[in-house]
Amino acid sequence: MHVAIIMDGNGRWAARRGLPRTAGHVQGARTVRRIVEAATRAGIATLTLYAFSSDNWGRPSAEVTALLRLLRRYLLGETRHCAENLVRVNVIGRRDRLSPDLIRAIEHSERTTAHGSRLHLRIAVDYSARHSILQAACSAPPGVANGGDAEFLRLINDVNHSALPTQDVDLLIRTGGEKRLSDFLLWECAYAELYFTDCLWPDFDEQGLNQALRDYAGRQRRFGRLPEAADAAV
């Protein structure tokens, strides 16, 4: 199962407590660890987290710097823990606009956790689904259409430095109350089940994840078919 999460609400969590926005991001990073651990217990195969979108470069420079510094600190601090728990870390998205120090931290984390087989944790940084699709289309060799969706998804994975072949998203969760995709995994979410919660990301926990999984389990995925045909395909 592939679960993707738009981790929204850090800034509002901090504002409600009279704290700077960076405090919300720090608390949000702690939530990441809890949810990664919960995902392994739930048997999720792939977890993709939206950490920093390409549009986030438009935020105040101080906040951008703090976010990317926090990401580097997270990678340096969590890599050993992930390796010990067989979690393979992979950062997807552009890397040409990231600092050399952050790129080194990303590459170190990916090398150290490459043996992980329990969970594939993908962290989207400087990520834009539209950019990924455009780059994949521009790099596609003649005749790629004959390979169907799977072949184009492989090209998208290549563009995004995805370490393993990644299938379509089964369940997309967005915290924070907003109900939009925000340029996240648009191709992979073509038939994803969408789950929105008002819970702000720093307050999201294992109970919240399990509630989303229970909601998903109660849905019928038809993929454009009639109910009987969809059940037969499964």
C-alpha–C-alpha distance, residues 101 and 38, integer Å = 30
Residue 183 contacts residue 54 (beta carbons within 8 Å): yes
pLDDT digits (tens, 9 = 90+) for 158-191: 999 998 888 899 999 999 999 999 999 999 999 9
- Total number of domains constituting the chain: 1
Look at residue 227 and tell me whether its pLDDT is greater than 80: no
Residue whose pair of structure tokens reads 């080194």 in the numeric block? 104
Q: Is the pLDDT of residue 234 over 60?
A: no
Phi, psi (rounded to 5 degrees) for 88:
-90, 120
Q: Which residues are catalytic?
A: 8, 56
Range of the structural domain that residue 19 is part of: 2-233
CATH number for the domain harbouring residue 164: 3.40.1180.10
Q: What's the whole-model pTM score?
A: 0.92
pLDDT band at 199 (very low <50, low <70, confident <90, very high): very high
67-112 confidence digits (pLDDT tens): 999 999 999 999 999 999 999 999 999 999 999 999 999 999 999 9
* Between residues 102 and 226, the one the model is more confident about: 102
- Residues ≥6 apart with Cβ < 8 Å to 143: none
User: What letter would DSSP give residue 115?
Assistant: T
- Per-residue pLDDT reduced to its tens digit, 38-65: 999 999 999 999 999 999 999 999 999 9
pLDDT of residue 153: 85
What one-character-per-residue DSSP string does the chain give?
A: -EEEEE---HHHHHHTTT--HHHHHHHHHHHHHHHHHHHHHHT-SEEEEEEEEGGGGGS-HHHHHHHHHHHHHHHHHHHHHHHHTTEEEEEES--TTS-HHHHHHHHHHHHHTTT--SEEEEEEEEE-HHHHHHHHHHHPPTTGGGGHHHHHHHHHHHHTT-SS-----SEEEE-SS----TTSSTTTTTT-EEEE--S-GGG--HHHHHHHHHHHHTS---TTS-HHHHHHH-
Is 228 or 219 the better-scoring residue by pLDDT? Answer: 219
pLDDT digits 0-9 by tens, 125-165: 999 999 999 998 888 877 666 666 777 788 899 999 998 88
Mean of the per-residue pLDDT values of the chain: 92
Burial class, 1, CB count within 10 angstroms (exposed 0-12 / middle 13-18 / buried 19+): middle
